[in-house]
Amino acid sequence: MGTAEMIEDEQDIAKLDVTPDLPGGSKPLDLPILQGTMGPSVLDIRKVYAETDCFTFDPGFTSTASCESKITFIDGDKGVLLHRGYPIEELAEQSSFLEVASLLIEGDLPTQSQYDAFVNDITHHSMLHEQLRGFYDGFRRDAHPMAIMVGVVGALSAFYHDSLDISDEKQRIIASHRLVAKMPTLAAMAYKYSMGQPFVYPRNDLSYSENLLHMMFSMPTEEYKVDPVLARALDKILILHADHEQNASTSTVRLAGSSGANPFACIAAGIACLWGPAHGGANEAVLNMLEEIGHKDRIPEFIKRAKDKDDPFRLMGFGHRVYKNYDPRAQVLHNTCKEVLSVLGHQDDPLLELAQELEKIALEDPYFIEKKLYPNVDFYSGIIFKAMGIPTSMFTVLFAVARTVGWIAQWKEMMEDPSQRIGRPRQLYTGHTPRSFVERAKR
Ligand code: CMC
């Protein structure tokens, strides 16, 4: 076994005494320290393997910066989230989802004419190739809409051949805009299919969020009027989910893209990763958990289970890998949640009452306080979606609609980085040492 101890920290070099248990013995190693504009410095370990014959080991990437990025900054201890330098609270209150999309993808807040051009482009790419509709018929009616999304988003690469050349900047832009524009259409169709209702085409006179509600809830039989409070709440939720630095699904998109895979395939990979209950699937899991709890009298029983090390149960919507004091997105949504519930007159919904009680109890419980487990963004977004009449199975799909913007921005940044290489982690092998094959009859 070897040891690695930092023995000196100069201005931009960390001297490590790396003593691997290898024939060469002790090998002092100087590692450059890289400094970003904010946040912790990073030890540049790129030459560790070449100079020590050792890999570094960091499952779950708790200490590893996987890339350099200018898009999003998070300070988990202080509850800070900035997109291109702008605080999430200001963006959520003062901006719109498409303006935030433009900011994340292009790098700066758009001027009025840039904004108009961006909105125009997204609006005019929202329709799908008509043949794509046929894909939906191939799914069972009870298919999870995330399963449909993984399939149909990946299938976009079979339709838009003129935007698959990732070495062509123009094609990259067209593919990016197509993805942002078509996601609400694909998502709403997944919902309509599950309901056995006819698909609804997008409308160019509606905003992004209005259009999403229109495509989900309108029917050919009667006029559907989009409630402006709901459209604004949805827009806010989309803003709050737009990007979150190098989370699991974004890292998946980057890893997929690092091989040169086309953007539609990369975003499909991101959707697959987002689906998991520890990530985007948590908003759906929150509602399922509330239904399982059923009544506030049963909360103590579930809190007890969440604390039991031998029970895999966790309180869904609580805790975060990065935010250890509070999730700033959850703070914004907490207020939106109250607003939406009062506008919709849902304050008396027993499930929502249960959610509020659970939040209160968990916030006062020493286990949750000690482990710094606070309600995260998914706790409140699930409750708002439920109040808006959006079915539970669609929650993560809406998260995917929003996060497509972040995935695209991060993929684009990686594509434009001349130092980009295929992502290829190594491993600590703990399997068998070489052994000889034994014939089946002799095993
Ligand atoms: N309920 C009960 N205990 C928990 C919970 C929870 N929700 N979350 C963490 N813990 C405990 C965990 O058992 C561990 O205890 P110990 O130190 O005694 O072993 C400690 O807190 C640290 O947990 P961890 O699993 O090491 O933390 P992590 O950073 O690997 O996981 C997390 C973060 C978000 C996956 C986790 O908190 C969790 O599973 N939360 C519930 C699912 C959820 O709400 N996910 C949405 C995250 S926000 C949106 C997104 O990013 O997609």
- DSSP per position, 91-157: HHHH--HHHHHHHHHHSSPPPHHHHHHHHHHHHTT-S--GGGHHHHHTS-TTS-HHHHHHHHHHHGG
Q: Which residues pair with 318 in a beta bridge?
A: 375
Q: Hey, which of 19-28, 264-273, 322-331 has the most confident mean pLDDT?
A: 264-273
Half-sphere exposure (CA, 13 Å, Cβ side) for 197? 16
User: Is 404:31 a contact under the CB 8 Å cutoff?
Assistant: no
User: Is 229:343 a contact under the CB 8 Å cutoff?
Assistant: yes
Average pLDDT over residues 193-222: 96
User: Is 410:255 a contact under the CB 8 Å cutoff?
Assistant: no
Q: Phi and psi (nearest 5°) for 18?
A: -95, 120
Mutate to test the pocket of ligand 1, among 371, 397, 398, 407 (most ligand atoms within 8 A of CB): 371
Distances (CA, A) of 327 to 7, 274, 419: 35, 18, 33
Percentage of the chain with pLDDT > 70? Answer: 93
**Whose Cα sits closest to atom 44 in ligand 1?**
317
Per residue in 341-367, pLDDT tens? 888 876 677 887 888 899 899 889 999
Listed in sequence order, the residues at least 6 apart from 301 whose beta carbon sits closer than 8 Å to its beta carbon are: none
Residue type for 80, please? V
What whole-number distance in Å separates Cα of residue 59 and Cα of residue 192? 40
What whole-number distance in Å separates Cα of residue 310 and Cα of residue 278? 18
* C-beta 179 within 6 A of ligand 1: no
User: Is 328:88 a contact under the CB 8 Å cutoff?
Assistant: yes
Identify whether 378 is a catalytic site residue: yes
Q: Which of 83, 320, 334, 346 is catalytic?
A: 320
What whole-number distance in Å separates Cα of residue 113 and Cα of residue 120? 10
Q: Hey, which of 99-113, 155-169, 344-358, 369-383 has the most confident mean pLDDT?
A: 99-113
**Predicted local distance difference test score (pLDDT) of residue 8:** 43
Mutate to test the pocket of ligand 1, among 247, 290, 309, 321 (most ligand atoms within 8 A of CB): 321
Give the pLDDT band (50/70/90) at residue 99: very high
* C-beta 371 within 6 A of ligand 1: yes
Q: Which of 121, 235, 327, 378 is catalytic?
A: 378
* C-beta 319 within 6 A of ligand 1: yes
CA of 108 to the centre of ligand 1 (A): 34
Per residue in 255-305, pLDDT tens? 999 999 999 999 999 999 999 988 888 888 899 999 999 998 999 999 999
- Closest atom of ligand 1 to CA, residue 376: 48
* C-beta 27 within 6 A of ligand 1: no
* C-beta 376 within 6 A of ligand 1: yes
Residue 192 structure tokens: 């309509």
- Return the H-helix or E-strand segment holding 387: helix 377-387
* C-beta 135 within 6 A of ligand 1: no
User: Is 257:315 a contact under the CB 8 Å cutoff?
Assistant: no
Q: Which residues pair with 33 in a beta bridge?
A: 43
Q: Which residues pair with 28 in a beta bridge?
A: 17
Closest CA to 257 of 416, 83, 151: 416
Residue 384 structure tokens: 């708002």
What whole-number distance in Å separates Cα of residue 317 and Cα of residue 240? 15
Q: Phi and psi (nearest 5°) for 314?
A: -130, 150
Residue 110 in this model has a pLDDT that exceeds 90: yes
* C-beta 280 within 6 A of ligand 1: yes
Tell me, what DSSP letter sits at residue 433?
Answer: P
- Return the H-helix or E-strand segment holding 19: strand 13-19
Which one is predicted more confidently, 345 or 400?
400
- Closest atom of ligand 1 to CA, residue 321: 29
Give the pLDDT band (50/70/90) at residue 334: confident
Give the pLDDT band (50/70/90) at residue 3: very low
3-state secondary structure of 397: helix
Q: Phi and psi (nearest 5°) for 285?
A: -65, -30
Per residue in 410-425, pLDDT tens? 999 999 999 899 999 9
* Cβ atoms < 10 Å from Cβ of 432: 6
Distances (CA, A) of 181 to 48, 128, 176, 178: 43, 10, 9, 5
* Cβ atoms < 10 Å from Cβ of 225: 8
**Predicted local distance difference test score (pLDDT) of residue 10:** 47
**Predicted local distance difference test score (pLDDT) of residue 22:** 56
CA of 273 to the centre of ligand 1 (A): 17
CA dihedral 265, 271, 272, 277 (to 10 degrees): 170
CA of 287 to the centre of ligand 1 (A): 17
Identify whether 320 is a catalytic site residue: yes
Does the pTM of the predicted model rise above 0.75? yes
CA of 151 to the centre of ligand 1 (A): 29
* Mean model confidence pLDDT for the chain: 91
* C-beta 174 within 6 A of ligand 1: no
3-state secondary structure of 435: coil
Cα-to-chain-centroid distance, residue 75: 17
* C-beta 378 within 6 A of ligand 1: yes
**Predicted local distance difference test score (pLDDT) of residue 24:** 61
User: Is 141:200 a contact under the CB 8 Å cutoff?
Assistant: no
